[in-house]
Amino acid sequence: MAQDIEARIIGIIAEQAVLEPGDVSGDQTLEDLGIDSLGLVEVIFAIEEAFDISVPFNANDPTESEFDISSVRAIIDAVTGLVAEQKG
Amino acid sequence: MSHVRRVVITGAGTVNALGASVAETMAAMKEGRCGIGPLDFPDVDRLTIRIGAQIRDYDPEAHFNRQQIALYDRFTQFALLSAREALGQSGLSFSGALADRSGVILGNSGGGLGTLDDNYRTVYEEGKNRVHPFVVPKLMNNAAASQVSMEWNLRGPSFTVASACASSNHAMGQALLMIRSGLADVMVTGGSEAMLCFGGIKAWEGLRVMSKDACRPFSANRNGMVQGEGAAVYVFEDYEHARARGAEILAEVAGFSMTADAADIVMPSRQGAARAISGAMKDAGLNPEDVGYINAHGTGTAANDKVESAAVADAFGHHADRVMISSTKSMHGHIIGGTGAVELVAALMALNEGVIAPTIGYEEPDPECALDVVPNVAREAEVSAVLSNAFAFGGLNAVIALKKAP
């Protein structure tokens, strides 16, 4: 289950970055991957749709939102938590 | 170069969450009253954003007959009511040659979104296969301008301008240029918006730039914009024409400038905004030290307020520390295509009543917005020239400069 979430999120981020999933790693930031603010909003939308969850994120202050987007790993962990919380 | 005609304002009208007239709106701005509250419309429980500056206790039947209500979306009704107040004040009526040389240019972004929302519900949710016959003439973006032209027999240059949050500043700019160029003598202008419906807010939620709790422009803890609704309409008139008939003049529309960032569809540009601000001052023959007040675009988003502050600093130089700047969106919300028009009420109040509208909801200074934002409480001050900023999604900027009546 956890690996499935990881693979799907990496797939979503890779698609947004126009990269192969194999080129996306946990320590990268969205900035490293060339994903801008609009791209980020699209990634969050895709995650919400894929997992049928609601992601608490306000673009006015991404660093202080409850949803940690500081790296690919952080996003995977945050989504894993949200899935457990909202679908568990 | 031939003599450039001067343009003055001889009438003003508005309806918004702060009041159903210019006088009521100015009174609310002086008090620093907040028009933002819980939204009330169908399916609001399916939204994550549930606040807005909605016009309360509004009764269409008090102003329009049954046939008119069937044809007028809320954004058209607000425009017509504002036009009635403005034209009533101006004392003008239109027939013969003056009718042919007078027009109406209004700003608007969403058109009849409420009409669209209601009728999509009818066909998609309720599964009906028939909608009211007037859906198209009711929802089209030019409905408001057209209905104003019909109610007042304005037969000259008339159309609608859509440039998102700068729509009504662009519209008023076109009205100014229309009179300056000699194509018209009187222009009825401003803007209108009624986006507070399920579909309207649902679309905005997607961008994640809206606040769930309050609009706090320039405050370090700001967390997004809050939408409002309403309209404001003005009578722009050739100065000689107004003087010849002894009209009361509210202000001179002294300058206008528009620029495009040509950069990003949502992120604002410091340069694009600064060029528009400088351009409006130049067009009006003003130096930064002549300008006492700026009505900010001031949306309360992280990006806008920071970029706007930097742009003002660029355009004003040392005088940026002295000029007062406030965002009245903190009170009437962001009225999108009508916002610049409603905000011009604050500009007129500064010039004519010597009161600067406050930026309410201001809680924490932000070093990136280090201007005098007139926090929370209105201030008495004599000013002789003011600016009103509008910077739209899509990077389209429009700034208007007003001077005290000549």
Q: Is B211 on the interface with A (CB under 8 A)?
A: yes
Domains, in order of start, for chain B: 7-244 (3.40.47.10), 257-403 (3.40.47.10)
- Neighboring chain B residues of A60 at a CB cutoff of 8 Å: 209, 211, 222-224, 301-303
Work out the minimum CA distance from A58 to partner chain B, whole angstroms: 5
Are B192 and B235 in contact by the 8 Å Cβ rule? The answer is: no
Cross-chain residue pair B223–A61, CB shorter than 8 Å: yes
Residue B290 burial by Cβ neighbours in a 10 Å radius (0-12, 13-18, 19+): middle
CA A86 to chain centre: 16
Does residue B92 have a pLDDT over 90?
Answer: yes
- Neighboring chain B residues of A59 at a CB cutoff of 8 Å: 207-209, 224, 302
**Separation of alpha carbons B11 and B285, rounded Å:** 24
Long-range contacts of B147-150 (CB under 8 A, 24+ apart): B147/B71, B147/B72, B147/B76, B147/B79, B147/B80, B148/B79, B148/B80, B148/B83, B148/B104, B148/B106, B148/B188, B148/B233, B149/B103, B149/B104
How many structural domains does chain A have?
1
Cross-chain residue pair B208–A44, CB shorter than 8 Å: yes
Q: Is B208 on the interface with A (CB under 8 A)?
A: yes
Task: Tell me the pLDDT tens digit for each residue of B5-19.
Answer: 999 999 999 999 999
Reported ipTM: the value is 0.79
Of A38, A44, A60, the CB nearest to B266: A38
**Separation of alpha carbons B153 and B278, rounded Å:** 37
Cross-chain residue pair B207–A60, CB shorter than 8 Å: no
| Residue A71: CATH number of its domain | 1.10.1200.10
In the prediction, which pLDDT does B3 show?
Answer: 67
Task: Tell me the pLDDT tens digit for each residue of B233-273.
Answer: 999 999 999 999 999 999 999 999 999 999 999 999 999 99
Both structure tokens of B338: 């009508």
**Separation of alpha carbons A62 and A75, rounded Å:** 12
Does residue B313 have a pLDDT over 60?
Answer: yes
- Neighboring chain B residues of A41 at a CB cutoff of 8 Å: 206-208
- Neighboring chain A residues of B209 at a CB cutoff of 8 Å: 58-60
Terminal C-alpha separation, chain B? 22
Does residue B284 have a pLDDT over 90?
Answer: yes
Work out the minimum CA distance from B397 to partner chain A, whole angstroms: 21
Does residue B352 have a pLDDT over 90?
Answer: yes
Cross-chain residue pair A41–B207, CB shorter than 8 Å: yes
Does residue B1 have a pLDDT over 50?
Answer: no
Count chain A–chain B contacts defined by CB atoms under 8 A.
Answer: 31
Of B48, B207, B222, the CB nearest to A59: B207
Task: Tell me the pLDDT tens digit for each residue of B121-155.
Answer: 999 999 999 999 999 999 999 999 999 999 999 99
Q: Is B226 on the interface with A (CB under 8 A)?
A: no
**Separation of alpha carbons A62 and B367, rounded Å:** 19
Of B206, B265, B302, the CB nearest to A61: B302
As annotated, the active-site residues of B are 165, 297, 334
Interface of A with B (CB under 8 A): 37-38, 41, 44-45, 54, 57-61
Cross-chain residue pair B301–A60, CB shorter than 8 Å: yes
Q: How confident is the model at residue B95 (pLDDT cuts 50, 70, 90)?
A: very high
Containing domain of residue A7, as a range? 2-87
Residue A55 burial by Cβ neighbours in a 10 Å radius (0-12, 13-18, 19+): buried
Both structure tokens of B144: 């408001």
Cross-chain residue pair B303–A60, CB shorter than 8 Å: yes
Cross-chain residue pair A60–B224, CB shorter than 8 Å: yes
Both structure tokens of A60: 């006015």
**Separation of alpha carbons B202 and B123, rounded Å:** 19
Cross-chain residue pair B208–A61, CB shorter than 8 Å: no
Task: Tell me the pLDDT tens digit for each residue of B8-67.
Answer: 999 999 999 999 999 999 999 999 999 999 999 999 999 999 999 999 999 999 999 999
Are B21 and B195 in contact by the 8 Å Cβ rule? The answer is: no
Cross-chain residue pair B267–A60, CB shorter than 8 Å: no
Are A65 and A56 in contact by the 8 Å Cβ rule? The answer is: yes
- Neighboring chain A residues of B207 at a CB cutoff of 8 Å: 41, 59
Residue among B191, B208, B228 nearest B398 (CA): B191
Cross-chain residue pair A54–B211, CB shorter than 8 Å: no
- How crowded is the C-beta side of B219, counted as CA atoms within 13 Å? 22
Does residue B334 have a pLDDT over 80?
Answer: yes
Work out the minimum CA distance from A59 to partner chain B, whole angstroms: 5
**Separation of alpha carbons B317 and B23, rounded Å:** 35
Q: Which residues in chain A come in under a pLDDT of 70?
A: 1, 64
Q: How confident is the model at residue B356 (pLDDT cuts 50, 70, 90)?
A: very high
Q: Which one of A60, A63, A64 makes the best mutation probe of the B interface by having the most chain B beta carbons within 10 Å?
A: A60
Strand, coil or helix: A75: helix
Residue among B108, B102, B166 nearest B139 (CA): B108
Chain-wide mean pLDDT for chain B?
97
Of B265, B267, B302, the CB nearest to A60: B302
Question: Of all residues in chain B, what percent carry a pLDDT higher than 70?
Answer: 99
β-pair partners for B359: B375
Cross-chain residue pair A37–B223, CB shorter than 8 Å: no
The residue of chain B nearest to residue A58, with distances taken between CA atoms, is B208
